[in-house]
Structure 1
């Protein structure tokens, strides 16, 4: 990507020097306190399945709060935050600069698109953390992966995730990294437009299977919105280089529910999809990228498109 020298966002909050202890703290000790409650609710098999879903599918979840709220596990906890010296490598510094530039570019795109519809885009903040972080959606550790919290309109990313993206999911490249950010920003757009709250309300009245289908539609829409951003980043500011879109498509495919399920359990269970298959995720990202029109991202009425 041609990102160097481009404007940076003022909405980066660096908490990497913070060390959080308590629920969801470093090392996962806080999450372990929830196991008796989870076991009582779900049983042994359900607990194992939940662990797999949180550890694998959670890497690309857009709404951490929804996971905890659905289980009824969101709760206040005593936490403490301490400061530790931040030792930043040159590679990490460059990655932070890259993230700041990409965030600024999403701000430019979505401010323009919202203005064209007579609306105002409220810029989200992006929080960098290490190991564990406290958000309005509760505590989370780095195993959850990047997430968007609608409660505080913030995206949370542990830089270590990008190593997993490259090594575990075999999706290297700077545009693959940008795709992750733009997908989470897509969830912010959904929140501002009232889509996320409508999905959550509808899910409360549906069976688990039907609720999962809505989650898939919501996630695919975020993929499509990521594609819309990529279209404008390229057509307006020429950020993309040859091979960038292929990097994004590879990332979308690598984290499809069917791909992840095959890796974690050896078979595919479509009824438990939460984000969509690899084919669906690639398709909807391409729809957004090719049109550049957010109105084409209506996954709720055109899932079979």
Structure 2
């Protein structure tokens, strides 16, 4: 991916090197989560109807007695686990380190700002940019306390994406998913959750957990996660249009989606799969929905709630 020398986002908090204690009331949960030529990015026909449609979907689900996104209560979604919600204070941030990996993620964040800012602008809306929090080992957020073992995650309570950059080493070593575009996909997926939060997907779902069985909650969580994958694909679509991708980049992202599918992870860690426990989607599903967004660049094509997944 051609990222060097491009604009870096200033929406970054570097909390690395800080000691973070657990917030009061914390209870652990079991977990199995640039210069551009302006900001005008065409949506390929998605239009404002595409954004409004996403919000309407959730009222339709609620009218049917379904409580989708409270499955994410305490978490905005991630490549892996959910994070419990507790009250926390904002941790101070130090100067952002100037190393290659930091420059990379801040550049990718800037790319997502340009793409989603353009899409929202084309629909007559402002895009409130998320903040990227870099941490080491453990961190406190508006969604509670998390360790690096949680993986990258998005917290709707403070509109921030959290990542311990050592995750990228694990992604390559443990999951066999190396490459800069695989790493970019991880960040774009979490930004996809931010987009869901802005258009009303996460707030609606976060009100709806009561009365659902665990299996029902997991099934709806899969649809949320697959939509975030599709939104990551939309970002990839416009990144490709801008000539920033190189040969093999798409394959890197698709391989990462494959390696972090629920079925692949369960086979790797326990030797068998339990479909009712899936909460992010199978390898095939994650590849398919990323590909849908990548191929069309249309919000309308990311409707995981009214289409089979």
TM-score scaled by length of structure 2: 0.79
Q: Tell me if the contact between 1:19 and 1:81 (Cα under 8 Å) persists in the aligned partners.
A: no
Asked whether the 8 Å contact 2:87–2:143 carries over to 1, the reply is no
**1:142-153 → structure 2 map (5 Å cutoff):** 142-153=148-159
Larger CA deviation: 114-123 vs 244-253:
114-123
Corresponding residue for residue 82 of structure 2:
67
Deviations for 1:190-214, whole angstroms, at most 9, x for unmatched residues?
0001011222233333221111111
Q: Which residue of 2 aligns with 1:208?
A: 214
2:198 equivalent to 1:192: yes
* Bigger Cα displacement from structure 2, 283-292 vs 109-118: 109-118
1:178 paired with 2:184, answer yes
- Deviation at 1:75? 4.1
Contact 1:21 1:80 in 2 (8 A): no
**1:102 matched to which residue of 2?**
108
Contact 1:131-1:141 within 8 A present in 2 as well: yes
Alignment pair present for 1:293 and 2:298: yes
Residue in 2 that maps onto 1:42: none
RMSD between aligned residues: 2.7
Following superposition, the deviation at residue 81 of structure 1 comes to: 7.3
Other-structure match for 2:3: 3
Please tell me whether the aligned partners of residues 203 and 214 of structure 1 are also in contact (alpha carbons under 8 angstroms). Answer: no
Change beyond 3 A, Cα 1:232–1:273: same
CA distance in 1, matches of 2:198, 2:289: 20
Change beyond 3 A, Cα 1:82–1:118: closer
Judge conservation of contact 2:83–2:146 (CA < 8 Å) in 1: no
Aligned with 1:160 (options 155, 158, 166) = 166
Write the mapping of 1:1-305 to structure 2, written as runs, cut at 5 A.
Answer: 1-22=1-22, 34=27, 50-51=30-31, 53=32, 62-63=76-77, 67-69=82-84, 74-75=85-86, 93-235=99-241, 237-304=242-309
For this pair of structures, how many residues does the alignment match? 267
Unaligned runs of 5+ in 1: 25-29, 39-49, 55-60
- Rounded Cα–Cα distance in structure 1 between residues aligned with 2:99 and 2:250: 24
Structure with the larger RCO, 1 or 2 (CA within 8 Å, 6+ apart): 2
1:83–1:121 Cα change, 3 Å: closer
1:254-291 CA-partner distances (Å, limit 9, x unpaired): 00000011112211111111000000000000000000
TM-score, normalised relative to structure 1: 0.80
Moved more, 111-120 or 121-130: 111-120
Change beyond 3 A, Cα 1:75–1:123? closer
Higher helix share: 1
Worse overlay, 259-268 or 123-132: 259-268
